[in-house]
Amino acid sequence: MQYLPNTLFVIALIAGLGFFAMNIRKIFRNINLGKSIDRTDNKSERWKNMIKIALGQSKMVKRPFSGFLHIVVYLGFVIINIEVLEIIIDGILGTHRIFQGFIGAGFYAFLIGTFEILAALVFIAVILFWTRRNIANIKRFLSSEMKGWPKMDGNIILYFEMVLMTLFLVMNATDAPFQNAGIGNPVSQFIAPLFDGFSLEALHQIERTAWWIHILGILVFLNYLFYSKHLHILLAFPNTFFANLNVKGQFNNLESVTKEVKLMMDPDADPYAAPLEGAEEEVPEKFGASDVLDLNKMQLLNAYTCTECGRCTSACPANLTGKKLSPRKIMMDTRDRLEEVGRNIDTNGGTFKDDGKQLLNDYISPEELWACTSCNACVEECPINIDPLSIIMDMRRYLVMEESAAPQELNAMMSNIENNGAPWQYNQQDRLNWANEE
């Protein structure tokens, strides 16, 4: 019985980390369903972006109030969880505050005191975040895509953080030897009087209960990330590293279109030639994207990294004028469809079985796509360099080049360019008549 707590702890730790690793493998499996894209150039600039944007939160503070709160929660949660290392070692070895003996009582007290102050600040910041989400009626949290699970998910994470911070402080407040030392407890000393009158044994049981629930809560939180928008806690780093470094507004050329143009310009090419004997007939590459499998890996990584903060949608001029487009919804729909494809693969033994659905029409409507002005406001606003516009443009390409389904106004313009060499509906001989007008 002496080693039973240690054994149970090791089992819980292995189960929690194992389940997390299994889910992370699924995420990267799903991301790798996308088309390959080379984003390994200019590594120094990429490292700089990751450090400045993902680690330094430089784009978050463009909105000072929410940005400051986010930095408090981010730094507090990360720094406080340094103590998790001590908890894991204590849990495995059956020790108690093992670091105190290694780093000295004075420095240990400074660390724990810092953790307590940060825990209190995180708790206050989380309360303010909850108020903004549920009481303040901020427009970007009231959009249709934020009803139901997305709203609940945001609140669940906040509740998690409140509980974990409370347990950390209660754990310290009921640790009698720690409180008697009177150092490293700038916050928990004010909680400790709530437990006056309790016996030392009762205090020990409360401390142990808080300790167990705290570490189990962290393992549950870690695995909940797989189902939550807060996966960006992990994915923001690769997402900012592999972000597009080209100037905003520069669109890529489709390789499939380039091949077709080269074929048309080659006088010796025979587009109807049969494949060589023994060679498989090449399936023509799709122009643009109609489903998640047509997107590239970075676009799928973007979808999983989306924080659902809504800064993109709140800056979108199309959305502000009442049109249906919401860049946040584009990313959420892409992630939901990718998850659906992943479940399909799991169900069918590792291969995707056509389910009669696709991202276009079943999740994202042409009306949303054509509402976009391609202004890049959503890309500029995103705090972790997500690019909804690239997905919108690839799906537009599919509509135009595969389905000839552009809006009437656009079709008229393209016909005029083809026939008249200009977007306007008059012939080339009349193009300069405006110069003769008095």
Q: Give 248 or 372, the one with higher predicted confidence.
A: 372
| Residues 207, 188: Cα–Cα separation, whole Å | 12
Cα distance between residue 152 and residue 308, in whole Å: 12
Domain 4-31+63-241 has CATH 3.40.1360: no
- Domain limits of the chain? 4-31+63-241, 255-266+285-420
Q: What are phi and psi of 197, to 5 degrees?
A: 95, -15
DSSP label of 324: S
pTM here? 0.89
Q: How much is the pLDDT for 406?
A: 87
pLDDT greater than 70 at residue 116: yes
Q: What is the mean pLDDT of residues 68-77?
A: 90
Q: pLDDT, tens digit, for every residue of 181-211? A: 888 999 999 999 999 999 999 999 999 999 9
For the stretch 335-387, pLDDT in tens is 999 999 999 999 999 999 999 999 999 999 999 999 999 999 999 999 999 99
For the domain spanning 255-266+285-420, the CATH number is 1.10.1060
Percent of the chain residues topping a pLDDT of 70: 96
Instruction: Please tell me whether residue 364 adopts helix, strand or coil conformation.
Output: strand
Mean pLDDT of 392-413: 90
d(Cα 173, Cα 330) in Å, to the nearest integer? Answer: 46
What's the confidence (pLDDT) of residue 415? 85
Angle between helices 105-134 and 149-173 (to 10 degrees): 150
More confident residue, 3 or 162: 162
pLDDT tens-place string over residues 310-323: 999 999 999 999 99
Provide the pLDDT for residue 257.
78
What's the confidence (pLDDT) of residue 171?
95
Q: Kindly give the interhelix angle for 105-134 and 64-80, rounded to the nearest 10 degrees.
A: 140
Q: What is the pLDDT of residue 111?
A: 92
Stronger pLDDT, 32 or 426, i.e. the higher one = 32
- Give the CA dihedral 265, 266, 267, 270, nearest 10 degrees: -110
Q: Check whether 236 has a pLDDT greater than 70.
A: yes
Query: For position 281, what pLDDT does the model report?
Result: 56
CA distance linking residue 314 with residue 71, whole number of Å: 21
pLDDT value of residue 438: 56
The pLDDT mean for the chain works out to 91
> Quick one: DSSP state of residue 296?
B
What local confidence, expressed as pLDDT, does residue 278 receive? 56
